[in-house]
Each structure stands twice: as structure tokens, then as C-alpha cells.
Amino acid sequence: MERWTRKAIWIVFFLLFFLSVGCSTSTNPVSPSNLNNTDNVALNHNEQVQENTDNERQIVVGFSQLGSESDWRNANTRSIQDAAKEAGIELLFANAEQSQEKQFEAIRSFIEHKVDVIAVSPVIESGWEPILLEAKQAGIPVILSDRAVQVSDPSLYVTIIGSDFYEEGRKAGKYLIDKMRNETGPVGIVELQGTFGSSPSIERGRGFRDVIKDQENLTILQSEPADFTYEKGKEVMRAFLKERGSEIKVLFAHNDDMALGAIDVIEEYGLRPGKDIVIISVDGTRKAFEMMTEGKINAVVECNPLLGPMLMQAVGEIIAGRTLPKRIVPPESVFTEELAEKEVGNRQY
Ligand code: AHR
């Protein structure tokens, strides 16, 4: 009898041992070599996996960022990386340097590594249907971050977290109408657009036009893409000044970096930015606020890059099986030169 009890104890012991070994094996995907893991996060993850004997596992998100063209973009990247760390989420980060093809490659790599969620900031609006279908067929939910896509099937992505660019264009137009309310003569406008085919460029231009279209004295003289960069902003503004010179009374720049480039060439040309040429910009970076305090930019329509916490929260909700709204818009304001001094110290990017 005693021999049988001892035998039974040994059998139970071996069963428990094998069960515990089976439970502690991590099935987490390995980071691909062309992607950057957010520092230390993988380490924390492994420690956690070893500690937990139940089915808790670290979430892995693949994020395809479109590039690093502006201060806004760099703040956006930092926000997402920091929020991932904070949430204990492993982030596979890929910078596409403005190439849609590179974004496709990154997404394929995320699919191959079986990430839990894919987040993407699409460089342009068109051409996304096939790659999003690949993600859907692999059963990986996709979140659009910042920019939108044109697809016939909205189920190809779960939600879009980002600004209402159309509304931003409208805000710029409304500010201009108010600023020019006592102006009876013709007001010539030039427009520095962002990346050709990108949703902020398309929508900001559309919103602006919709608001000013009934104002007979407001005319858009020229409108060209300047890729959301400081250098291109300089180049295109120089060409505008060469062709239109003193006819230009207003510059609408689709972002701050281009506005800053334009300010430099306006001064080289011998005109006073903010006075001879009214300047309206979008984003709200600290540098643009400094220019506003000097009276060189008249108004900035805020576009919030600090999307990281919202993105990580959405990832958590998806993993928990909850439904998200199709569109999540961050809070945003308009700042004018009168408010700049008060606000400049609060800018986080
Ligand atoms: O998509 C958001 C836009 O992209 C920002 O306005 C611009 O600065 C950035 O590069």
C-alpha cells in the first residue's frame, strides 16, 4: 500500500513538472533584422513571460512610419515609441523614407512575423487595397495612424487615429477671411502644399478652398507641392516670388517646416513675413510659435502629432476584443500671433 502511495506521488510530480515546462515556452515572434525594436522592451517582455505561468503574453505591434520629413513627424515617432514603452508593448519600427513601396515591404515583414497589430502612417492616399487585404487575410488588424487611405472596403482597417485635415484647411480659410475683412482690393494667395497625393495635402487644400470660394477678392495665384520640408518650402516660395513678386499678399503653408523655409526666402527677397505677406501655417511646432512671437507667422492651425497614447490604447482595446469607432480625432486649436507669447512655453514639439 505504502509503495503504491509513493508511486502515485512521483507520477503527480512528473505530470506537474512537464505541464509547467510547457506553459513557460514563449511563442513571441523574433524581431526582423531590418527593423528597430524599441529599447529594452523586448527584455522586459521576456522577463514577464518567464514570470507568468498563465497565458499572458507581451503584445507586439509593427509600425510603418512614412518618414522623417518634418519636426511634426519626428514628434509623432517619439510619441509612438514612448507610448509603446510605457504600455509595455513591443514595437517593431520601420521608417519608409517617403516610399510607399518600402511601407508595403515593412507590412509584409510584420505579417511574416505574426505581429498582433499593424499600425501604418500612409505616405499617400491611393494604392493600399492589395497590401491591406494581405494583412486581413493573415488575420492581423490594421490601425491607420495620422493619414488616411482611399479604399473601397473600409473593413480593411479597424480605425484611423489622426487629425481632421479638411477641418484644418477650413480653419485656415476662416482665419484668412477674418484677417482680410477690411481689405477691399485683390488679395493674391500662394499655397505651399505637402506631399503630392497625401491626405493632409488633399484635404487641407479642399477645406481652405471650400471656405474662401465665395470671397471674390481672395484669389489663389499659385499652388505647388513642397513635400512638407523646409528645403522644398524655400525652393518653391523662391519660384513663387520670382513669378508673382508683390502680387503675393498671403501664404498658406500646409506645414510649419515649409513656412519656415518660405520666411527665409521672403526676407532674402526684401519683404517682411507676417506684414507684407500674411502667413498661415499648420502644425504648431515650437519653432513656428517662436516665429509667431516675432510677428513673422500670423496664425497656426494646430495638428497634433502626439498620437502615441491613443494608438497604444486602441491596440489594447483590439486585443481585448472591444469595438472601436472608425475615426478617432485628437483635440486641436488655432493659435494667432496674439496668443503666441502665452503658449510658446507650453509647446511639447
Ligand atoms: O500628416 C501630417 C503632416 O505630415 C504634418 O502636417 C506634416 O508636418 C507632416 O509631415
* Helix segments in the chain, DSSP class H: 2-23, 41-51, 71-87, 100-112, 129-137, 165-179, 199-212, 230-244, 256-268, 286-293, 308-319, 337-343
Domain membership of residue 49 (yes or no) is no
Looking at the structure, do residues 175 and 291 belong to the same domain, yes or no?
Answer: yes
Confidence of residue 24 (pLDDT cuts 50, 70, 90): very low
pLDDT digits (tens, 9 = 90+) for 245-256: 999 999 999 999
Average pLDDT over residues 312-340: 95
- What is the overall mean pLDDT for the chain? 87
Looking at the structure, do residues 272 and 317 belong to the same domain, yes or no?
Answer: no
Per-residue pLDDT at 284: 97
Residue pointed to by grid coordinates 480605425: 159
Per-residue pLDDT at 56: 73
Domain membership of residue 12 (yes or no) is no
Does residue 283 surpass a pLDDT of 90?
yes
Looking at the structure, do residues 283 and 205 belong to the same domain, yes or no?
Answer: yes
Does residue 192 surpass a pLDDT of 80?
yes
* Residue to probe by mutation, ligand 1, list 65, 69, 70, 97, most atoms within 8 Å of CB: 70
CATH code for position 130: 3.40.50.2300
Looking at the structure, do residues 193 and 155 belong to the same domain, yes or no?
Answer: no
From atom 3 of ligand 1, which residue's Cα is the shortest distance away?
200
Q: Whole-angstrom Cα distance, residue 301 to residue 333?
A: 6
Produce one character per residue of 91-113: b if its CB has 16 or more CB atoms within 10 Å, e if not. Answer: bbbbbbebebebbbbbbebbbeb
Cβ pair 132, 156 in contact under 8 A: yes
Does residue 286 surpass a pLDDT of 90?
yes
Per-residue pLDDT at 80: 98
Instruction: Check pocket membership of 71 for ligand 1, CB cut-off 6 A.
Output: no
Q: Whole-angstrom Cα distance, residue 344 to residue 178?
A: 23
Domain membership of residue 345 (yes or no) is no
pLDDT digits (tens, 9 = 90+) for 73-109: 999 999 999 999 999 999 999 999 999 999 999 999 9
Domain membership of residue 335 (yes or no) is no
In the chain, what percentage of residues exceed pLDDT 70? Answer: 84
Cβ pair 120, 142 in contact under 8 A: yes
Looking at the structure, do residues 179 and 295 belong to the same domain, yes or no?
Answer: yes
Return phi, psi of residue 200, to 5°: -65, -35
Looking at the structure, do residues 284 and 178 belong to the same domain, yes or no?
Answer: yes
Q: Whole-angstrom Cα distance, residue 113 to residue 108?
A: 9
Per-residue pLDDT at 196: 98
* Residue to probe by mutation, ligand 1, list 228, 285, 304, 307, most atoms within 8 Å of CB: 228
Q: Whole-angstrom Cα distance, residue 240 to residue 248?
A: 8
Does residue 281 surpass a pLDDT of 50?
yes
Looking at the structure, do residues 219 and 275 belong to the same domain, yes or no?
Answer: yes
What is the secondary structure of 92-138 as a DSSP string? EEEE-TT-HHHHHHHHHHHHHTT-SEEEE--SSSSS-HHHHHHHHHT
Domain membership of residue 87 (yes or no) is yes
Query: Considering the entire predicted model, what is its pTM?
Result: 0.85
pLDDT digits (tens, 9 = 90+) for 150-167: 999 999 999 999 999 999
**Measured from the CA of 67, which atom of ligand 1 is nearest?**
10
Count: domains in the chain: 2
Cα dist from 283 to 107, 189, 288, 305, 334, whole Å: 27, 20, 8, 8, 10
Looking at the structure, do residues 184 and 257 belong to the same domain, yes or no?
Answer: yes
Looking at the structure, do residues 216 and 191 belong to the same domain, yes or no?
Answer: yes
Ligand 1 centroid, distance to 4 Cα (angstroms): 74
Average pLDDT over residues 282-309: 97
Reading the block at residue 235, the C-alpha cell is 525652393
In the chain, what percentage of residues exceed pLDDT 90? Answer: 83
Return phi, psi of residue 93, to 5°: -110, 130
Instruction: Check pocket membership of 72 for ligand 1, CB cut-off 6 A.
Output: yes
Domain membership of residue 181 (yes or no) is yes
pLDDT digits (tens, 9 = 90+) for 211-246: 999 999 999 999 999 999 999 999 999 999 999 999
Range of the domain at 268: 165-303
Average pLDDT over residues 3-20: 40
Domain membership of residue 347 (yes or no) is no
Instruction: Check pocket membership of 73 for ligand 1, CB cut-off 6 A.
Output: yes
Fill in the amino acid letter for 165.
F
Reading the block at residue 174, the C-alpha cell is 476662416
Per-residue pLDDT at 55: 61
Looking at the structure, do residues 170 and 299 belong to the same domain, yes or no?
Answer: yes
Q: Residue 181: how many CB atoms within 10 A of its CB?
A: 8
Cβ pair 251, 280 in contact under 8 A: yes
**Measured from the CA of 147, which atom of ligand 1 is nearest?**
1
* Closest C-alpha among 311, 342, 252 to residue 65: 311
Q: How many CA atoms lie within 13 A of 256 on its CB side?
A: 26
Does residue 27 surpass a pLDDT of 90?
no
Instruction: Check pocket membership of 228 for ligand 1, CB cut-off 6 A.
Output: yes
Looking at the structure, do residues 182 and 245 belong to the same domain, yes or no?
Answer: yes
CA distance between the termini of the chain:
76
Coil vs helix vs strand at 346: helix
* Closest C-alpha among 211, 257, 200 to residue 234: 257
